[in-house]
Amino acid sequence: MDRTIAREEIRALETSEVAQFVRIVERAYPRLELHAPGVRERWIERVREGIEQDPTSSIQGCFRDGQLVGVMKWRDFQMNVHGRQLLTGGIGTVAVDLLHKKEKVAKGMMTRFLQAYRERGVSLVSLYPFRVDFYRQMGFGVGTKMNEYRALPLSLPDGDKSAVVALERGEREQILRCYNRYAARTHGMTEKSEREMNTLLENAEHLAFGYRREGVQELEGYLILQFKQVHSENASIHDVHVRDLVYETTEALRGMLAFLRSQADQVRRIVFYTQDEDFHVLLADPRNDSDRLIPFYYHESHASGVGLMYRIIDVAGFFRQLAGLPLGVASGHFTFHIRDSFFPANQGSYAVRFHEGVPVSVEESPLPGSTDAEVAIDISDFSSLAMGAVRFHSLYAYGLAEVSNPAYVEALDRLFAVPQKPRCTAAF
């Protein structure tokens, strides 16, 4: 068969097709260990339940001449974008049948994903990459790095842990409300559903604790942790991995850190996963357990990783949806020449007028020379810039952004200089 002329259809899978979805995924991602007894069957059942019960997600399949050759999962998110809740899209579990690699199946699926969400009025989508370079070529830009700190318990600040309580199953709604209150105030965070929170809490190895002051019904913070044995021949020493840490007040944070500090007699290290760039300042001893010195004399404090990537799929729509919100602090009228070879519907020139950081107007295909300065930039880097994950002056210094009048580099930098880089703990 000549696959180059095969009839292609991309559509949502039915529950009767879930086993085919799992077959493709388990071959594409052997690390999932779906061959273990009972694991494959349980996963099939969870996927079926998701199709039937979760209106915010769908499993999409790429069919060529009626044969399923690729799959992906679409997700709808309400994301805090610069202080406004926007409907955004997420894509995950992109997998291609091993027999159909290098046949542009993934390209076709990604293009359909971008088209479908743009048609719904969505301007921003995101994903977790299996390879960053692969998705940069598709126009996705890097987000905020995730940092892993491996702290000694006694390096955490001491304090009053009396308001820290163990949380039971019946308090899941309070945990969810606490998370969503935090997400509503934090750039980049997405709302969690009850189903998502239940998935996190139903793990038998996860223990939940919260901060609740006397006389106050609602939680002001919570943490979910997991004990991991350090050595196979010594069951008395563990590391604690903090899987989720949310706090609404300084008192809540300090109380929960004091609680973790008090575990020093049986815990070797407390492992934090955080996008807080200043977290090391909180620790009396920020060194991790690598014992490495970075030249000349810098102690290794944490490991960092690039993960979540963003992509603007409708540049004009993005600025219109954020009308009235300050992105930065500068004023000016600028033309952005966006290169987007993967998704040509998004490529073009956009003139945006800002007043004290607020986008007040957007014009498509402006006349040359009609604005203060013109910027030429790839959609991947522009997406990172518009989300506040990278500074403009860095892109300019690296040669990733060109400016017709360099005198405006500082103003452009201040336009997108957000107080806090986007944070996200959603897994999809």
pLDDT of residue 116: 98
Tokens of 47: 């996927």
Q: Provide, rounded to the nearest whole percent, the portion of the chain with pLDDT above 70.
A: 98
Structure confidence at residue 5 as a pLDDT band (50, 70, 90): low
pTM of the model: 0.93
Write out the residue limits of the CATH 3.40.630.30 domain(s) in the chain: 3-122, 147-305
Q: With respect to CATH, is domain 147-305 assigned 3.40.630.30?
A: yes
Given a cut of 90, is residue 344 above it in pLDDT? yes
Average pLDDT over residues 311-324: 97
Element (H, E) at 394: helix 392-397
Q: Do residues 141 and 315 lie in contact, with contact meaning Cβ atoms separated by under 8 Å?
A: no
Q: Regarding predicted confidence, which is higher, 316 or 41?
A: 316
Given a cut of 50, is residue 1 above it in pLDDT? no
pLDDT of residue 6: 76
Write out the residue limits of the CATH 3.30.1050.10 domain(s) in the chain: 320-415
Lowest mean pLDDT among 86-90, 214-218, 302-306, 404-408: 214-218
Q: Which CATH architecture has domain 3-122?
A: 3-Layer(aba) Sandwich (3.40)
Given a cut of 80, is residue 34 above it in pLDDT? no
* Cα 183 from Cα 424, distance rounded (Å): 9
* Cα 307 from Cα 299, distance rounded (Å): 24
pLDDT, tens only, 281-293? 999 999 999 999 9
* Residue partners of 131: CB distance under 8 A and separation at least 6: none
pLDDT of residue 309: 98
pLDDT of residue 32: 67
Given a cut of 60, is residue 3 above it in pLDDT? no
Average pLDDT over residues 231-244: 90
Q: Regarding predicted confidence, which is higher, 88 or 54?
A: 88
pLDDT of residue 42: 87
pLDDT, tens only, 354-381? 999 999 999 999 999 999 999 999 999 9
* Cα 179 from Cα 60, distance rounded (Å): 29
* Cα 246 from Cα 256, distance rounded (Å): 10
Q: Give the residue among 245, 305, 296, 282 at the shortest CA–CA distance from 152.
A: 282
Average pLDDT over residues 31-55: 83
Task: Name residue 75's amino acid.
Answer: R
Structure confidence at residue 133 as a pLDDT band (50, 70, 90): very high
Beta bridge mates, 334: 352, 373
Average pLDDT over residues 37-52: 87
Q: Do residues 279 and 147 lie in contact, with contact meaning Cβ atoms separated by under 8 Å?
A: yes
pLDDT of residue 262: 97
For the domain with range 320-415, which CATH number is right: 3.30.1050.10, 3.40.50.720, 3.40.1390.10, 3.20.20.70? 3.30.1050.10
* Residue partners of 61: CB distance under 8 A and separation at least 6: 10, 11, 12, 13, 17, 20, 21, 68, 70, 71
Spell out the SS3 assignment of 90-143. EEEEEEECHHHCCCCHHHHHHHHHHHHHHHCCCCEEEECCCCHHHHHCCCCEEC
- Phi, psi angles (nearest 5°) of residue 391: -85, 150
pLDDT of residue 233: 84
pLDDT of residue 4: 56
pLDDT of residue 59: 96
| Residue in the block written with tokens 């009235």 | 324
Average pLDDT over residues 127-137: 96
pLDDT, tens only, 170-226? 899 999 999 999 999 999 999 998 888 888 888 889 999 999 998 888 999 999 999
pLDDT of residue 170: 82
